[in-house]
Structure 1
Amino acid sequence: MELTLKRIARRDNYTIGRLEADGEYVCDTLEPTWRDIGRGRPGRKVPGRTAIPEGRYPVVITYSPRFKKWLPLLLHVPMFEGIRIHAGNTAEDTAGCILVGENLKPGMVLNSNAWVHRLKQKIVAAKERGEGVWISIDNG
């Protein structure tokens, strides 16, 4: 299964995106501020306040000791560790991870727990079919 996160609104304090699975819209996303740090470009990572670089990353589901539940984890993200897809509503709820939900208010995603659950179901189903799961992140 191929997940695609297209960043559609980069603001000073947050980044809003659109998440698709195999070309079909799934939900909206919220990340910290996007900074141009990838692919050897000048820029500065601000720990806990920087969206991950664009690229394509494998996704697995592992147990998160921090959240005490099973959550999607992105692997091999340059300059970052422990990047998960999890619930939250504002950029204050993430230290670099991807929050999923519905962007019904500026700078927020709502109904996040329900969307994490739905996304995990899609990932588990793909893994059960023997498919790899990848996420491609594009700055639009």
Structure 2
Amino acid sequence: MKFGLKVIRIRQGNNSTLSEIYLDGQFICYGLEDIPREKKIPGSTCIPLGTYRLGFNRDGGMNGNYYDRYPKMHRGMIEIKDIPGFSYVYIHIGNTHKETAGCLLVGTQYVFQQGDYRLVQSITAYKKLYPLLAEFMAAGNVFIEVTE
């Protein structure tokens, strides 16, 4: 099994989970998700710990929006595949847990405000991570490991 992306959860807010994201062992950016829950609430529950395959999803409105925003870079939404009970889980731009929809957000920095973590410079982090990860994915199977 070939790993590429590692998400290490480091802090928990009232409604947010902060992580560090590494690509091939190198720190790339911070990540933000919803909180863990014993019973999944769609769009408000973080990704379960585990290892999952990454793939491109070229369907849907979000894919079209990102293609319009980043036509030279975008090859499809990076989707975290085969998560039991989850679907359409992407790595994308956003700053707060309210923007996750159950997905993994990225940012270059973070702040802690009113009991929750918030990402800063999400677009900058996405523009750094996406082409690196897309190139990695084009070369073969890439997996994401979500751990604590």
In 2 relative to 1, CA 52–127 (structure 1 residues): closer, same or farther, beyond 3 Å? Answer: closer
Say yes or no: does 1:44 pair with 2:54.
no
Query: 2:70: which partner in 1?
Result: none
Deviations 1:71-104, CA, capped at 9 Å, x for gaps: 2101100110000000000001111000000233
Q: Tell me, in whole angstroms, the C-alpha distance in 2 between the residues paired with 1:83 and 1:72.
A: 8
Give the match for residue 123 of structure 1: 133
- Measured in 2, the distance between the counterparts of 1:126 and 1:22 equals 9
Instruction: Assess if the C-alpha contact under 8 Å between 1:10 and 1:34 holds in 2.
Output: no
Aligned length: 131
Query: Secondary structure at the residue paired with 2:88?
Result: coil
More strand by share: 2
- Which structure has the highest helix share of the two? 2
Counterpart amino acid of 2:118?
M
Which residue in 2 is equivalent to 1:13?
15
Q: List alignment gaps of at least 5 residues for structure 2.
A: 67-75
TM-score (norm 2): 0.82
The TM-score, its normalising length taken from structure 1, stands at: 0.86
The answer as to whether partners of 2:30 and 2:110 remain within 8 angstroms in 1 is no
Alpha-carbon offset, residue 124 of structure 1: 2.1
* Shift in Å, 1:64: 4.9
- Residue 137 in structure 1 maps to residue 137 in structure 2: no
Partner of 1:38: none
Q: Once superposed, which parts of structure 1, at least 4 consecutive aligned residues long, lie more than 6 Å away?
A: none
RMSD of equivalent CA atoms: 1.4
Q: Is the Cα–Cα contact under 8 Å of residues 29 and 107 in structure 2 kept in the other structure?
A: yes
